[in-house]
Amino acid sequence: MEFTSLNKCPLCDSDKIGTFKKGTINTENISTDDFKITDSTYGSVWAFSKCSSCSFVFSNPRIDEKSLIEFYSELEDNEYTDEWEGREKNFRTIIKRLEKIEIPGKKLLDIGAASGIFVRLAAENGYSAEGIEPSTQLAREAGEKFGIKIFEGTIDDYSSSEQFSVVTLLDLIEHVNDPAEFMNKVSPLVKKGGVLVIVTPDIQSIPPKFLRNKWWHYRTAHVNFFSLRSLSFLLKRSGFTIEKKYRYAWNFSFYYVLTRLFPSLKKRKGLQKVLKRLNLKLQLFDSWEIYARKN
């Protein structure tokens, strides 16, 4: 693992950067488990800098990309697919919203597809849908559980002869070590007039201000954070115009939420069955769901 200290904003190149947060992560000890989607150890934060020009918040020093990708490819997350019904509900909203805007065709690519929950839903709704996922376990599970083929790897390993009418980055961009460079690779995959969907935490929202390090989006896997301003900046420089924006609502089982708060409840097997059946929709106004059109 290598760490690089940045003296400029990796998004807009400005040198007007300052400390945003002191880190609590012991970089000697991080492992692949810290990158689980369902990681329940909150309050693990990187040392973050903030750019006063574009408002981008980024981990500084920054982990090298190779190590980060290795963590994801080795990742095993059984709890994630367990919670697929809640996740599917979140994603249904996205399918509905896509129906309401004009899209040039039905070819969809989901980057960071995990076990393919969204890809399957898109396919059921008439899309020719593909996914990319670096975790061997999650990509395999997509095939075993849902019968979907997910490309195992990252955007660097992937190539497509055709462009897509829709590309989705659902809870992904905050995990990527250099979002500007990443978007340079995503943009050519989207057709002119096509739509990019981004769901990501909003660092300018209220919850991180009063929950501080307890904010549920502060976790090892999140190496950078956006506000509407920095997200707009990123999209504009990558050739997109924001068309619609919403506050993303999360659907979880009661069990999932309770075990985030009280991890010891995981031992109470009897409770699990009941609590997993109860669904909860959380609107915390702390994530963005953005629909942007390729110029």
List contacts with Zn ion (CB under 5 A): 9, 11-12, 14, 51, 53-54, 56
Considering the complex, what minimum distance in angstroms separates the CB of residue 61 from Zn ion? 17
Distance (Å, whole) CA 222 – CA 121: 26
Smallest distance, Zn ion to C-beta of residue 174, A: 16
CB count, 10 Å around CB of 188?
12
* CA atoms within 13 Å, Cβ hemisphere of 25: 26
Burial state string for 261-273 with b = 16 or more CB within 10 A and e = fewer than 16: eeeeeeeeeeebe
- Sign, CA torsion 103/157/131/277: negative
Rounded to the nearest whole angstrom, what is the least distance from the CB of residue 217 to Zn ion in the complex?
20
Measured from the CB atom, the residue of 58 and 252 that comes closer to Zn ion is 58
Q: Which is nearer to Zn ion, 9 or 170 (CB)?
A: 9
Residue among 55 and 90 whose Cβ is closer to Zn ion: 55
Cβ at position 55, least distance to Zn ion in Å: 7
Least distance in angstroms from the C-beta of 180 to Zn ion: 10
- Residue closer to Zn ion by CB (options 6, 265) is 6
Nearer to Zn ion by Cβ, of 11 and 139: the residue is 11
Residue in the structure block whose two tokens are 């500007």: 180
57: Cβ–Cβ under 8 A, 6 or more apart, which residues?
20, 48, 49, 50, 51, 203, 224, 225, 226, 227, 230
Q: How far is the CB of 218 from Zn ion (least distance, A)?
A: 21
Q: Give the whole-angstrom CA distance, residue 182 versus residue 187.
A: 9
Helix (H, G, I), strand (E, B) or coil at 225: strand
Residue type, 100: K
Closer CB to Zn ion, 56 or 151, in the complex = 56
Residue closer to Zn ion (CB basis): 62 or 120: 62
Smallest gap from Cβ 50 to Zn ion, in A, equals 9
- What is the CB-side half-sphere exposure of residue 184 using CA atoms within 13 A? 5
Instruction: Report the distance separating Cα 153 and Cα 162, nearest Å.
Output: 18
